[in-house]
């Protein structure tokens, strides 16, 4: 009887936590270095059990991660191909994550969003704390905030925003549990994100999602994100939108706002051979495998893209006038 009471209380606490999270985005904290700086790596579209050069990219991430003394890793989604995980006991979790990213520098927290391929499997498995018991580095939630003192990262689950996954899934099955109906989920997400962005006082605001906002590669721009998500980002002074989805590396600058669009989706299979310019300013494009680093101080950001061999392909820096409003 006592065991049943404890189980019932545990379920009640879990329900309260879920209800609380529905009112606002869950928050996590990761301190900056003692000097106030932060270094991270960003990789996306990777989970192929080491194939398609995933292992080679992982090795170079480990080397660069050590050089930069990274604080954590961001995954931009499509974590497990082709169809996500089958459950919390799916060995693909270890075969594509734990056994691949073995370098000492990568034994830091990984903060991950879901991609469209992840939705083709058991989404709740990827979100489950059971995986964190298998590998404590793993943290994947639908929508959440990471406060790292000088920057707030806003992780956004973009797959439900794309209408075709709902209306024309072709032969794929998408796991919409805890999301459907779409017409309720999206307004609540945008409202919560807008409120969280307005509340943020961090010098830098960075939004991470899986789908492209702007891209010159295979998938191109995502119209739903431009219509629904981008206005929220513009209204709240977001500095960077970081994504995967297109299997490449690219930097595009908005022509009508300070937002920079950064694609890091070269974690494994790449080389799509597609280039379609859009109306914003293309700064850099690499149709191949690789990853990105981001180094931040309170007043400056430095972005570097690396290829599968760990060679630096492109670097971009920007400074922030913290006293512009004075």
As a whole number of angstroms, the distance between CA 204 and CA 289 comes to 27
Contacts of 3 (CB under 8 A, 6+ apart): none
Contact 124, 88 (CB under 8 A): no
- The CA distances from residue 202 to 34, 109, 189, 197, 212, in Å, are 17, 21, 21, 10, 24
How many contiguous H segments (helices) and E segments (strands) does the chain have?
9, 15
In this structure, are strands 300-307 and 312-319 parallel, antiparallel, or unpaired?
Answer: antiparallel
> Is 116 labelled a binding residue?
yes
> Is 245 labelled a binding residue?
yes
> Is 286 labelled a binding residue?
no
> Is 173 labelled a binding residue?
no
Contact 162, 213 (CB under 8 A): no
> Is 172 labelled a binding residue?
no
> Is 78 labelled a binding residue?
yes
- With residue 242 as reference, give the H or E element that holds it: strand 240-243
> Is 247 labelled a binding residue?
yes
Sheet with strand 72-75: strands edge to edge: 138-140, 110-112, 72-75, 38-43, 290-296, 300-307, 312-319
DSSP 161: G
Contacts of 81 (CB under 8 A, 6+ apart): 47, 48, 96, 117, 268, 269
As a whole number of angstroms, the distance between CA 260 and CA 136 comes to 32
- The CA distances from residue 61 to 175, 224, 266, 307, 308, in Å, are 31, 32, 12, 10, 9
**Is 211 one of the annotated active-site residues of the chain?**
no
Q: Which residue among the candidates 219, 251, 286, 323 is catalytic per the annotation?
A: 219
Q: What is the CA radius of gyration of the chain?
A: 19
Binding residues: 45, 78, 81, 116, 210, 245, 247
* Residues in binding site for Fe cation: 45, 78, 81, 116, 210, 245, 247
Catalytically annotated residues: 219
């Amino acid at each position: 009887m006592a065991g049943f009471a404890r189980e019932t209380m545990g379920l009640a606490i879990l329900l309260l936590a879920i209800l609380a999270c529905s009112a606002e985005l869950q928050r996590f904290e990761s301190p900056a270095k003692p000097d106030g700086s932060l270094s991270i790596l960003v990789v996306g579209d990777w989970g192929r059990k080491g194939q398609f050069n995933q292992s080679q990219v992982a090795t170079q991430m480990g080397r660069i991660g050590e050089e930069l003394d990274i604080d954590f890793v961001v995954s931009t989604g499509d974590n497990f191909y082709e169809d996500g995980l089958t459950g919390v006991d799916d060995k693909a979790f270890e075969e594509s994550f734990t056994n691949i990213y073995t370098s000492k520098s990568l034994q830091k927290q990984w903060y991950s969003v879901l991609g469209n391929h992840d939705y083709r499997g058991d989404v709740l498995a990827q979100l489950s704390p059971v995986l964190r018991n298998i590998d404590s580095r793993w943290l994947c939630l639908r929508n959440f905030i990471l406060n790292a003192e000088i920057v707030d990262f806003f992780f956004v689950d973009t797959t439900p925003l794309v209408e075709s996954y709902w209306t024309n899934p072709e032969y794929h099955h998408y796991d919409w549990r805890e999301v459907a109906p779409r017409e309720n989920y999206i307004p609540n997400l945008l409202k919560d994100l807008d409120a969280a962005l307005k509340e943020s006082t961090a010098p830098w605001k960075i939004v991470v999602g899986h789908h492209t906002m702007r891209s010159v590669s295979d998938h191109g721009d995502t119209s739903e994100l431009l219509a629904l998500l981008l206005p929220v980002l513009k209204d709240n002074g977001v500095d960077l939108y970081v994504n995967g989805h297109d299997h490449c590396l690219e930097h595009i600058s908005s022509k009508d706002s300070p937002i920079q669009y950064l694609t890091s989706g070269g974690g494994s299979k790449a080389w799509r051979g597609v280039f379609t310019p859009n109306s914003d300013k293309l700064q850099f494009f690499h149709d191949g495998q690789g990853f990105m680093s981001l180094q931040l101080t309170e007043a400056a950001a430095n972005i570097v893209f690396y290829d599968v061999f760990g060679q630096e392909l492109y670097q971009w820096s920007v400074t922030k006038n913290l006293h512009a409003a004075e």
